[in-house]
């Protein structure tokens, strides 16, 4: 009798390394998730890293940021302080304190008119920065006197925007939205109720409070008025009594949970939506049509949030990909939605906590953000593959891929022979000076992997005798570690790491052998290191 050829019993199964967050409502359905990575050209690539470029107000929180294309400066609100940030011709960033606002935490909203006036609201007051003024105090609020006083008779101004020469703000805890005088941010609706008809209007189609007035990007004179459970479409027709008229045949049946989640770019408006019969979801409005873009798994996550109202969101472009990033601070969670791949991804800081970016602006061909966690200004982009807080260390951003589960239709046991995928190798490995030896004479220096450091002649290099501090240099860890779940993604076993090739050695096989017996397998890959990681789909070999 001829012995069976066991090699013929091996079945190659495609392994989905490239993907986003397609986790199910419950973990048994799927744990599929990607941390700090995106899909580009059928490869999994790093999400943008960031670098601290200015320490503005240590101990405070970033609240808002705005980029003026007229004068080419950034306006940043950090705590209660407002800074004007500029960049020299040599690329050096500098800041100038221009004033304080009355609140020191929470959301702020910023907009600019065509008269070199930048308006800031903090849900309590309106503030105007007139950068064409020569007043000693360049920054004015409705209670200051230097340089002029804003005549503003209403409380709780919230989201602010600009359209057709006028600034527009929503009055929170009411149904009203009001207009400034054309190109004059210091004049709003008059104090007398009998004379406000041409400056103030109200939400009409459903009972509830107003959240924001958002001009439709690419929509000409159209504007969306968001309430807590509805969004109305209005159009500026230049009418004498009130310039806007509501579209009486159309509105969106979902409102906005928090105006800070609203972001608009190109022809999209994205926000965290809700109404009186539906919990939180991520919604998109494009060309007058609304659609929900969150998946079952994402919607289930949102339904379990403890405080979804404490959220923020923004749109930006990363290497041609339009991305909406949104954060729930109290629930320690950040997601990103990529309009190109139509996938969600989980975004974190170096400790797997929520991402620090609150709002992002594009300035001098670079992206910048203010942080939810500190008072610094950060540059944001894929030129960085790590988190740099200017503390003399580069922080490894965790990049993790959890694959979809593999199960046989008959629930039978199988043996995982091997798993592997193609990954870029041979990129420069950064060095960090993170290891210190105090007063240790003759201590042999070695890399983190244990390789002893020697001269070309083979002599081992020892630390010098120094009663203060002797420095050793360690190579940053660069490897991919695999751990496997055998219980539907509930727990993962110990990890097995494969080191990346050093600079110039680009050929390799990234493959793990002898995975064991299992009937429900989920793979978790951790990409450890400061360099970039670029990989594509792989293959799982199994036999019974």
Percent of the chain whose predicted confidence (pLDDT) is above 70: 83
Domains in the chain: boundaries: 6-17+403-430+476-543, 432-475
400-411: average pLDDT = 91
pLDDT at res. 472: 40
Q: How far is CA 212 from CA 209, 226, 360, 472, in A?
A: 10, 5, 19, 56
299 membership: H or E segment, kind and range: helix 296-303
Most confident listed range (116-120, 131-135, 335-339): 335-339
Contact yes or no for 303/280 (Cβ under 8 A): yes
Beta strands in 347-424 (DSSP E): 357-363, 366-371, 376-381, 387-388, 394-395, 399-402, 414-423
pTM of the model: 0.86
> Which value, in Å, is the radius of gyration of the alpha carbons in the chain?
28
pLDDT at res. 140: 47
pLDDT digits (tens, 9 = 90+) for 205-236: 888 899 999 999 887 899 999 999 999 999 99
pLDDT digits (tens, 9 = 90+) for 237-268: 988 788 999 988 888 888 899 999 999 988 89
pLDDT digits (tens, 9 = 90+) for 341-356: 999 999 999 999 999 9
Tokens, residue 315:
């749109």
pLDDT digits (tens, 9 = 90+) for 437-489: 444 445 555 665 555 565 555 555 555 544 444 444 444 568 999 999 998 88
Task: Give CA–CA dist 418/512, Å, rounded.
Answer: 5
Domain range 6-17+403-430+476-543, CATH architecture: Sandwich (2.60)
């Amino acid at each position: 009798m001829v012995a069976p050829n066991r090699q013929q019993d091996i079945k190659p199964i495609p392994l989905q390394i490239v993907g986003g967050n397609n986790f199910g409502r419950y973990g048994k359905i799927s744990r599929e998730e990607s941390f700090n990575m995106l899909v580009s050209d059928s490869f999994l690539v790093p999400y943008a890293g960031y670098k601290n470029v200015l320490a503005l107000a240590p101990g405070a929180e970033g609240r808002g940021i705005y980029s003026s294309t007229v004068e080419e400066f950034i306006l940043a609100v950090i705590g209660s302080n407002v800074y004007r940030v500029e960049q020299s011709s040599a690329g050096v960033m500098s800041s100038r304190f221009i004033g304080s606002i009355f609140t020191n935490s929470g959301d702020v909203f910023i907009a600019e008119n065509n008269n070199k006036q930048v308006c800031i609201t903090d849900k309590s007051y309106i503030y105007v920065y007139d950068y064409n003024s020569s007043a000693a105090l360049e920054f004015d609020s409705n209670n200051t006197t230097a340089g002029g006083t804003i005549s503003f008779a209403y409380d709780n101004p919230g989201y602010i925007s600009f359209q057709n020469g006028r600034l527009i703000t929503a009055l929170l805890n009411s149904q009203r939205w009001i207009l400034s005088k054309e190109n004059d941010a210091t004049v709003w609706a008059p104090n007398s109720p009998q004379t406000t008809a041409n400056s103030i209007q109200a939400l009409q189609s459903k009972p509830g409070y107003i959240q924001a007035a958002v001009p439709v990007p690419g929509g000409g004179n159209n504007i969306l008025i968001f309430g807590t459970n509805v969004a109305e479409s209005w159009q500026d027709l230049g009418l004498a009594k009130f310039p806007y008229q509501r579209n009486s045949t159309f509105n969106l049946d979902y409102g906005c949970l928090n105006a800070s989640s609203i972001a608009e770019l190109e022809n999209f408006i994205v926000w965290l939506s809700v109404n009186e019969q539906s919990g939180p979801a991520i919604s998109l409005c494009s060309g007058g049509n609304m659609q929900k873009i969150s998946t079952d798994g994402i919607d289930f996550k949102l339904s379990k949030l403890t405080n979804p109202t404490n959220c923020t969101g923004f749109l930006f472009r990363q290497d041609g990909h339009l991305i909406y990033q949104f954060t729930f601070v109290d629930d320690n969670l950040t997601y990103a939605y990529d309009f190109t791949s139509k996938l969600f991804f989980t975004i974190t800081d170096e400790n797997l906590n929520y991402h620090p970016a609150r709002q992002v602006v594009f300035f001098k061909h670079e992206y910048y953000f203010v942080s939810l966690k500190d008072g610094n200004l950060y540059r944001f982009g894929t030129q960085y593959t790590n988190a740099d807080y200017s503390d003399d260390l580069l922080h490894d951003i965790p990049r993790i891929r959890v694959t979809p589960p593999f199960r046989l239709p008959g629930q039978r046991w199988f043996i995982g022979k091997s798993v592997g995928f193609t990954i870029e190798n041979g990129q420069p490995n950064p060095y960090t000076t993170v290891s210190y030896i105090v007063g240790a004479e003759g201590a042999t220096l070695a890399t983190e992997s244990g390789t002893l450091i020697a001269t070309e002649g083979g002599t081992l290099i020892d630390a010098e005798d120094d009663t203060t501090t002797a420095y050793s240099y360690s190579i940053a860890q660069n490897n991919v570690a695999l751990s496997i779940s055998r219980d539907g993604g509930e727990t993962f076993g110990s990890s097995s790491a494969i080191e990346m090739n050093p600079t110039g050695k680009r050929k390799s096989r990234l493959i793990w052998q002898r995975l064991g017996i299992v009937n429900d397998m989920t793979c978790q890959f951790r990409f450890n290191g400061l360099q970039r990681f670029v990989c594509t789909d792989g293959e799982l070999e199994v036999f019974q």
